[in-house]
Chains A and B, each alone.
Chain A
Amino acid sequence: MRTIILTVNGLSKEVSVNDNEVLLNVLRDKLGVTSVKAACWKGECGLCTVLLNGLPVKSCMTLAVEADGKEVITAEGLYSDERAKKLQESFVKHGALQCGFCTPAFIVASHHVLSKEPDIDGEDLKKELSGITCRCGTYYQIYDAVKDARKYYKKDH
C-alpha cells in the first residue's frame, strides 16, 4: 500500500492504494464517486471516463498511482459549472438517455469537447464521443443534445 494525493472535483484527498488498483476502483470504492461507472474493464465502453489534469481518460486503464498529485474531474464536479448544467439540461430536453448509465461519461466527455471546441459539428463531434458506448442506443439524441448545448460554451454567451 502507498498513500497518494488526488484532487477530486476540487477537494484534495489522501488515499491508500495498492499498486495494482486502477483509478476507477479508488474513485468508486474508496472515495464514493459513483457517477464513474464500471462495466467492461478493457477500455472499450468508456463509461469510466474522467478528466485527468483536464484530459479525458478511461479510469479503468489508468493506475491510481499514475494519478498521484493530479486533478480528477467527474460528473459530480461539473455540477458547479453553469455551462455543464445547461449541457445536462440539454440531455434531459432531448431525451438523450434511457437507462442513464452512460450519461455521466457522456457529460464529462462532451463538456471537455465543447470547452475546447464550441463550434464542433458533424463527424468531428461524433468522432470525439465515439469512445463511449450507450447500449440503449440514444446516440442521435446525445448528438442533438450536445450540438444544442454548444451555444452555452461560446464566448459571447
Chain B
Amino acid sequence: MSYNTPNISLPKFTYYKADNLTDALSLLKQYNGNARVLAGGIELFKQMRQRLIVPEHIIDIKGIEELRKIDVTDRGIEIGPAVTAVELQKSQIIRDKCPPLFKAAAFMGDRILQNSVTIGGNLTSGLPCTEGVPALMSMDSVLEVRSAERSRILPVSDLVLNIRKTTLNSDEIITKIIVPYNGGLSGGYLKLLNASEMAVANVAVALFSAKRKLRMAIGAVSVKPYYFDESTLGWKWNEPIEENIRVALNAIGSTIQPMAYNRVASAEYRGEIAKVLAARALKELFRGA
C-alpha cells in the first residue's frame, strides 16, 4: 500500500526535537513562516494530512522540561503548554485551583487521545470547539508568549482571531499559561456534543466568592468565545439566584450571534443550547454557595 496520498500521508518535513526553549525559539526564527510547533500533534497532523498547511520544518517541544510543568507561583497557577489533557486531570493543583480547566480537560478528545493532546495545542488550534479557551477565559487567564527576540503577555480572550487563526506570530511559542488566582475559586465547565461528537456549545463559569467576581465564557457558538462578567450578565449579588439567572440568560441571548458551522448544528439550536448550558452551569455553581 502506498501512503503517498493526501488524507493518509503527512507531507514531507524535517523534524527537530528541541531540548530547550532557546533552541526551539531560534529554530522557529530561522525557519520563520515555514515551521510549526509540535506539542500534541493531533490538530496539526489532521491539517497537514488535508494539506491545509504544509510546513517544511516541525519543531517538537515535548522534550522541553520547563514547558511540561504545573507550578504555583506568585503570579498564580502556571501551566506549561506541553502539559497533556491526562496530566491536567491528574494534577491536584488543577483539580483544586482551576476547576473549569480540570473539567474541560476531560473533553479534549477521547481518553486515548488525551494522552497526546496538550493544552498548548488545544489553545493554538484556533478551532471554535476548543475547550481550553473558554475554560481559561473564565479564569481571566493570560499567556506568556515568546519569540527569540521578545516576550509578551497575551490575554487568552485575545488569542483566537478566526477559525484556525490565532493572534500568535509565526515565530512565537506560548511558554506559559497563567491563571492569575491561587485558589478561592469555584467553577464548572459543560459541553454538549452532537451524535458525531462535534461541539454544539460549551460553557465555562468561575466564581471568586471572596472578590464577588463572576465570569462566564461561551464557546463553540461562534468563531470566538464570548466573555461575560457580573456586570454584562446583569448579576446582582443581593437578588435571588433564579432571578439572576433569568436576567443573565436574557443578556446572553441578546449578545451571542450563533453560527451554523460544519453542519454540526443550526444557529438557532446552538443559541438555545448555549443558554441551557449557561443556566445549568450557574445553578451548579451556586448550589453549594
Contact = CB atoms under 8 A, between A and B. Distances in A.
B9 A43 contact: no
Of the four ranges (under 10, 10 to 19, 20 to 34, 35 or more), the interface on chain B belongs to: 20 to 34
B51 interface: no
Contacts of B237: none
B42 A20 contact: no
Nearest to A49: B112
Contact of B41 (A18, A19, A25, A62): A62
Of the four ranges (under 10, 10 to 19, 20 to 34, 35 or more), the interface on chain A belongs to: 20 to 34
Contacts of B13: 19-20
B76 interface: no
Q: Taking each of B14, B45, B46, B111, which has the highest tally of chain A beta carbons within 10 Å of its own beta carbon? A: B111
B11 A42 contact: no
Interface in B70-86: 86
A131 B112 contact: yes
Contacts of A42: 46, 49
B109 A43 contact: yes
Contacts of B209: none
B15 interface: yes
A155 to B, nearest CB: 22
Q: Taking each of B8, B60, B62, B112, which has the highest tally of chain A beta carbons within 10 Å of its own beta carbon? A: B112
Interface in B1-48: 1, 3, 7-15, 17, 38, 41-42, 45-46
A42 B58 CA distance: 18
A46 B110 contact: yes
Interface of B: 1, 3, 7-15, 17, 38, 41-42, 45-46, 49, 58, 60, 62, 86, 109-113, 115-116
Interface of A: 18-22, 25, 29, 41-43, 46, 49, 55-58, 61-63, 65-66, 109, 127-132
5 contacts: A22-B10, A61-B42, A63-B41, A66-B17, A66-B60
Q: Lowest 5 A-B CB distances belong to which pairs? A: A131-B110, A131-B112, A19-B15, A20-B10, A55-B115
Given A41-B49, A63-B41, 17 more contacts: A19-B12, A19-B13, A19-B14, A21-B3, A21-B10, A43-B109, A46-B112, A49-B112, A57-B115, A58-B112, A58-B116, A61-B45, A62-B41, A66-B38, A128-B111, A130-B111, A131-B110
